[in-house]
Structure 1
């Protein structure tokens, strides 16, 4: 069924304007960006197909350009539109964290980290460097590893914290397996990083583990 055959209030663009983005499914939001479908598929059906092929929205947005261009119905123009939407989202979330205390905005922090890390195929370790009011100074990917893990060096993290003149940090890494549950190694690493940063009077506020479907805060678990 073509989108024009749907009732007016069921069409993605009209629904978005009338009810807001939360009322739309991922496929419907993609349809708004894609604008048109392909022969035999509406933009909504094309959006759903792309999500299924990529394992969800994070996988689609994090796919490299070459892989994305090979997806049926997704040429350079539509691929560029998706990349622009993702980058605008990241910049908007980063701007929110720069304006207000990151540690008092856990929902924004989690959304930002999801946008950054959830679709990565390999493990990536990222640090949010914060000022004395816990506003974001910089977000930096420090270590990358195989799907089995990344080697994280406390000395490098301490050096970066001093370079940014940071008063506090939030660190995060993804679990490409899709399970955000912290491992014993994650807990041990958190303790090591906290002790190393304390030597230069920098607080480690949280360590967040990210997967495509969820995030887990070690601070909330009482593991800090």
Structure 2
């Protein structure tokens, strides 16, 4: 509808669809299920796109769980076919890359807090243990990272050869290891301590210093070096 001055007046009906709301109000005005509906675009003949997006969030356990779900798991959600699974997976990965875009200067890891801040937002909500190795140069600037292992709900089995293989390839001077506890409690387990000591021994042989091993919880972390579990 157009008023006397030629301006477009939006009616309530024009805001009913998620894409119309996104166009008129911007993405910040949409609920999570509406954003998912925009990504998936349409229903499947039996369910509306709203119903599918709502059931998806319920099935996986909320929006943060989407960061830790793969295409095969998406395909197990009722109403999600191959096309929708690929759309969602691509959107999640795109968001991850935007949030963690590299800066113009290499990030310098000076403290455990620097490392924890760098990984906290993307690792605190993961439903499986991920063991991530940060690769550093002689000035402790970040030159790369590698996910050495992805475990089950409460365990990640990692071997020094997986951790150091990528570090050797990138000529890293030092590494800093990080893994998450899906329980949200960052207290290191006996296995965490044993793995750290094996990595330290391997690092000494290879000439690659293991600066720290950080356990990420829900908004909290523990540095195994600060806790006294690593050689000084």
TM range (shorter): 0.5 to 0.7
Deviations 1:28-80 (A, max 9, x none): 33233223345686544432221111122344454343442242332222211
**1:141 partnered with 2:142:** no
Long gaps (5+) in structure 1: none
Q: Supply the RMSD in Å over aligned alpha carbons.
A: 4.0
Q: Which runs of 5+ in 2 are unaligned?
A: 1-12
Contact 2:65–2:127 at 8 Å: present in 1 too?
A: yes
Tell me the equivalent position of 1:209. Answer: 216
- Distance (Å, rounded) in 2 between the aligned partners of 1:155 and 1:7: 52
Aligned length: 210
Which TM-score applies when normalising by structure 2? 0.65
Q: 2:131: which partner in 1?
A: 125
For 1:180 and 1:173, locate their aligned partners in 2 and report how far apart those are by CA, in whole Å: 12
Structure 2 partner of 1:182: 187
- Hey, what's the Cα distance between the residues in 2 that align with 1:218 and 1:12? 41
**TM alignment of 1:1-224, pairs within 5 A:** 6=16, 11-12=21-22, 14-17=24-27, 20=28, 24-37=30-43, 43-93=49-99, 95-96=101-102, 99-101=105-107, 103=109, 104=114, 106-113=116-123, 118-120=126-128, 123-154=129-160, 157-158=163-164, 160-176=166-182, 178-185=183-190, 186-187=192-193, 189-190=195-196, 193-194=199-200, 197=203, 200=207, 202-209=209-216, 214-219=218-223, 222-223=226-227
TM-score, structure 1 as length reference: 0.67
